[in-house]
Chain A
Amino acid sequence: MVSPSATSVPPWAREPHVEPADPTGRTHTLLVVGPGDGQTGTAVRAVAAGWQEELGAAPVHRHDCADAAVAVDALHADLAVARVGHRVLVAGTAEACLAVRAAAVRAGLADDELRFGAVAADVRTVWCVHCSATTTAAVAAGGVVACPGCARSLLVYEHVSRRTGHHLGFMVDAEDQPWEESA
């Protein structure tokens, strides 16, 4: 068993969890990620409302986004003019939060500039080390998922890439396989 504190999987990507807003920030970008209707939309808006209350009078640029791709675009637009002292808050599913975090990390943001509120953590993206295909599935870390690229059964490992937001997947019974001659 891998100790949760020793892995790269943030606590909010294991089970739903909302981090507190950072009152030391001077300005904030708030990304509310989820379709307007339905359970996820209602839950992320509640998280956003809580954060806005915590932040009081601090300037908050709020973006309500249908999905992570829209949120990443909004993030990039804000970061292009952001000054040090800015913080980014993301409310969404863990999958959306990880995708936005990856874009933020690639843009040079540090962990102490990012806060996440994950309203669900059952779906994750898994990156196959064998063929580099990515699959999205409702699977827990430690579970097994079929790779759509190479059809191998992938063990979803307790590792999330900071730069892509994907979990690492590798062939579940790799040790039992004969070495592939053609590899």
Chain B
Amino acid sequence: MSTTAPAPTAPRTATPPTALPAPGLPAPLGAGERLALVVVAVDDSVPGVRSLSLARPDGGALPSWTPGSHLVVEVPPGAGRERRLANAYSLTGETVHPSAYTVSVLRRDPQEGAAGGSAWVHGLAVGDTVTTTAPRSAFPPVQRATRHLLVGAGIGITPLVSHLRSALRWGRDVQLVQVCRGGRGAHLDEVRALGGDRVTVLDGRAALAAHLPALLADQPIGTHLYTCGPADFMDAVLAAARALGWPESRLHLEHFGLAALDPGDPFTVTVTGGPTLEVPSGTSLLEALEQQGYDVPHLCRQGVCGECRLRVAPAASTGVHHRDLYLDDAARAAGDCLMACVSRALPDPATGRAHLEVSP
């Protein structure tokens, strides 16, 4: 996210602005806080997709969220899941003082290698309790954009639903292109009803490939592009945009369904004031530390929740190979923290040594 220098018309004052708690509104949750929510509705009207509505047990208002935000849902162990999982799902409902959070989850079959989180969601019933984090924003609309172009595929439409709703509410120029097969897809009826002729539905990738170059070549210069869907779909969208001269600052993507990470190269790690450990290829830093008896807070083990963040001593380390979806560019560039569940050491280009010094 970009920061803006203070404008001369609003000189900086010596006193920092005080955050005033608005009376009657739910206080924002701090990092690491959990919400215990109850399933109040399920919708299975689209084959393979389960939409859940989650509310506070007392029915009270939930914290507001920025369009494009996601919720990390905890999945307890059981039914073949050795340990707790945590999956990130985009919020699709009302953003301002919602009485419920809604997410849509595509069922991925554990028999085909899925970890089992989505199957668990598909087994939930009204009245069940679910533990989640507060909404997290990693895919927000750019306020300076004069036009928002939303391009989604499959279940990747979910974060774009809230973008569309918010753009329409604020009178912003918006267009949504959704790729799905056979004219069936999650939230399609909803976005059509919301967006009318601002919504284009394409049947399959070939239709997208035919449509995309002309679409991307003819966007007014204030336009920002947001894309979400399978990794190869987003790669294709971004490649088409770059080929037409789109600068990186106008391209935004939301990873959806994490591609399996490669096992990574071995490295060593020193825990500040403690021992030095080997982290072999195929073992995460989180696992290596757990094997030594360290208790590192964690939730998702896939680089989305932000729980397992460790401090890195940059001067004593050769560099961080960030592989998470949580840290922003500024935090990555600073090189002083990492997500232990997915990220590794970057070797020193001169010596080839790969080492990290970390502390909680």
- Is A11 in the interface zone, CB < 8 Å from B? no
Q: Chain B contact residues (Cβ within 8 angstroms of A): what range?
A: 20 to 34
User: Chain B residues with Cβ under 8 A from A87's Cβ?
Assistant: 245
Main SS of chain A's interface residues? Answer: loop
Q: Are B7 and A24 in contact (CB under 8 A)?
A: no
Given A161-B7, A164-B8, A82:B245 Cβ within 8 A: no
Partner of B219, one of A84, A161, A164: A84
Q: Are A108 and B11 in contact (CB under 8 A)?
A: no
Q: Chain A contact residues (Cβ within 8 angstroms of B): what range?
A: 20 to 34
**Per-residue 0/1 for A49-90: is the Cβ within 8 Å of any B Cβ (1 yes, 0 no)?**
000000000000000000000000000000100111111000
**Per-residue 0/1 for B219-242: is the Cβ within 8 Å of any A Cβ (1 yes, 0 no)?**
111110100000000000000011
CA distance A163 to B223 in the complex (A): 19
- Is A162 in the interface zone, CB < 8 Å from B? yes
A109-117, A137-145, A147-155 - interface stretch: A109-117
CA distance A108 to B249 in the complex (A): 11
User: Chain A residues with Cβ under 8 A from B222's Cβ?
Assistant: 107-108
CA distance A121 to B63 in the complex (A): 50
CA distance A129 to B5 in the complex (A): 15
- Is A159 in the interface zone, CB < 8 Å from B? yes
Residue of A nearest to B223 (CB): A84
Q: Are A24 and B245 in contact (CB under 8 A)?
A: yes
**Per-residue 0/1 for B236-270: is the Cβ within 8 Å of any A Cβ (1 yes, 0 no)?**
00000110111111100000000000000000000
User: Chain B residues with Cβ under 8 A from A164's Cβ?
Assistant: 7-8
Residue of B nearest to A23 (CB): B245
Q: Are A110 and B249 in contact (CB under 8 A)?
A: yes
CA distance A111 to B247 in the complex (A): 9
- Is A168 in the interface zone, CB < 8 Å from B? yes
User: Chain A residues with Cβ under 8 A from B245's Cβ?
Assistant: 24-27, 84-87
- Is B144 in the interface zone, CB < 8 Å from A? yes
CA distance A159 to B12 in the complex (A): 12
Q: Are B221 and A163 in contact (CB under 8 A)?
A: no
Given A24-B242, A82-B221, A83-B217, A129:B248 Cβ within 8 A: no
10 A–B contacts, CB within 8 A, in A order: A25-B245, A79-B221, A83-B217, A83-B218, A84-B221, A84-B223, A85-B217, A86-B245, A112-B247, A129-B11
B residues touching A (Cβ–Cβ < 8 Å)? Answer: 4-5, 7-8, 11, 144-146, 216-223, 225, 241-242, 244-250
What are the 8 tightest A-B residue pairs by CB atom distance, in nearest-first order?
Answer: A85-B245, A26-B245, A110-B249, A112-B247, A108-B222, A82-B221, A84-B219, A8-B5
